[in-house]
Structures are given as C-alpha cells and as structure tokens.
C-alpha cells in the first residue's frame, strides 16, 4: 500500500520534470486509503520559493477538508521533505510520512536540502546566513495580548 502511493508520488515528480513545470518532486496526501490531494514542485513556474510539492499538497488537502490541520492523513513524497516542508508537516499535524529518496539523493541532483538541514542545526552565529536576535523592550507584547485573548482559535 505504501509502495503504491510512493510510486504515484514518483510518477508525479517525473511528469513534472518532463513537462518543464518545475523540480523533480511529487507528493500525494492520503486519508482513509484515498488520495485527497497531490502536489508537484512549482517554484519557478509560480515564482514562489515556498511552492514545494509538500507545501502545495498540504494547502490543497486543507482546502479539501476545510481545515487547517490534516489529522489522520498520510503524506507520501518522492523525496525526504526539506526542513521547510518538514516544519509544515508538523504544523499540519499529519499522522505519518513516507518518502522514496532522501536528502543525499537530492544533494547529488543539485538541491540544497542537506545543506539547509546542516545549517539549521547550527547555533545562530555559526550559520551561513546572518541571523540575529535583537532584544526590544516591548518584543513580547504580541504574545501577552494573545494570551489575554479569550476567544482565539489556537493552532
């Protein structure tokens, strides 16, 4: 069963490259044994660096379910999700994830997934990108107002 959905994700990835529409990545999201959404990489087509297959599939599945969470859903990806997509998978509260290639296969094909994994794990001041925590006196004001708000939708 897992193999069948993974094969579908791989086929989507292959078709996407052949059609010249984006990178070699495909995803299907399954609920109760049925595919409810798919996604392929469309970064360059949509001019959107966040338009990875997983992100687009998660957004599509949420539209189908009319929800901002995907409990009880399984994500099948042609390749191990990058840190961005992995974060999205946690926020969407998917049940489980299966993938066919890994970050090292992606690296060999010229993609930064493994570099980003390594860099994200480093302390701020050792990363390749300049990132700095600047403390402002009222920085936590948004959080304080959030915590005081009674009728909020938690996520």
How many angstroms separate the CA atoms of 111 and 22, rounded?
13
How many angstroms separate the CA atoms of 32 and 87, rounded?
23
- Give the residue numbers annotated as catalytic, written as ranges: 54
Query: Least separation, in Å, of the C-beta of 88 and a copy of itself?
Result: 5
For residue 101, state whether it binds a copy of itself (rule: CB under 8 A). yes
Assess contact for 24 and 51: CB atoms under 8 A: no
CB proximity list for 116: less than 8 A, separation 6 or greater: 82, 83, 84
Q: Which of residues 59-78 bind a copy of itself (CB under 8 A)?
A: 59, 62-63, 66-70, 78
For residue 57, state whether it binds a copy of itself (rule: CB under 8 A). no
Nearer to a copy of itself, 34 or 151 (CB): 151
Largest CA distance in the chain: 54
Q: Which of 32, 34, 47, 123 binds a copy of itself (CB under 8 A)?
A: 47
How many angstroms separate the CA atoms of 37 and 30, rounded?
7
How many angstroms separate the CA atoms of 21 and 16, rounded?
6
Size of the site for a copy of itself (CB under 8 A): 91
For residue 19, state whether it binds a copy of itself (rule: CB under 8 A). no
Query: Least separation, in Å, of the C-beta of 23 and a copy of itself?
Result: 7
The structure tokens listed for 40 are 């392929």
How many angstroms separate the CA atoms of 97 and 101, rounded?
13
For residue 142, state whether it binds a copy of itself (rule: CB under 8 A). yes
Nearer to a copy of itself, 35 or 43 (CB): 43
For residue 123, state whether it binds a copy of itself (rule: CB under 8 A). no
């Amino acid at each position: 069963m897992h193999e069948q959905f993974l094969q579908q994700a791989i086929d989507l990835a292959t078709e996407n490259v052949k059609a010249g529409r984006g990178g070699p990545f495909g995803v299907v999201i399954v609920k109760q044994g049925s595919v409810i959404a798919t996604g392929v990489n469309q970064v360059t087509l949509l001019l959107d660096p966040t338009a990875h297959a997983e992100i687009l599939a998660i957004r599509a599945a949420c539209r189908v379910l009319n929800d901002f969470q995907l409990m009880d859903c399984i994500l099948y990806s042609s390749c191990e999700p990058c840190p961005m997509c992995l974060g999205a998978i946690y926020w969407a509260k998917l049940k489980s994830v299966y993938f066919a290639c890994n970050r090292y296969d992606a690296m060999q094909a010229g993609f930064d997934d493994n570099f980003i994994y390594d860099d994200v794990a480093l302390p701020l001041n050792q990363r390749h990108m300049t990132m700095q925590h600047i403390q402002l006196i009222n920085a936590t004001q948004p959080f304080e107002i959030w915590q005081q708000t009674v009728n909020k939708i938690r996520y």
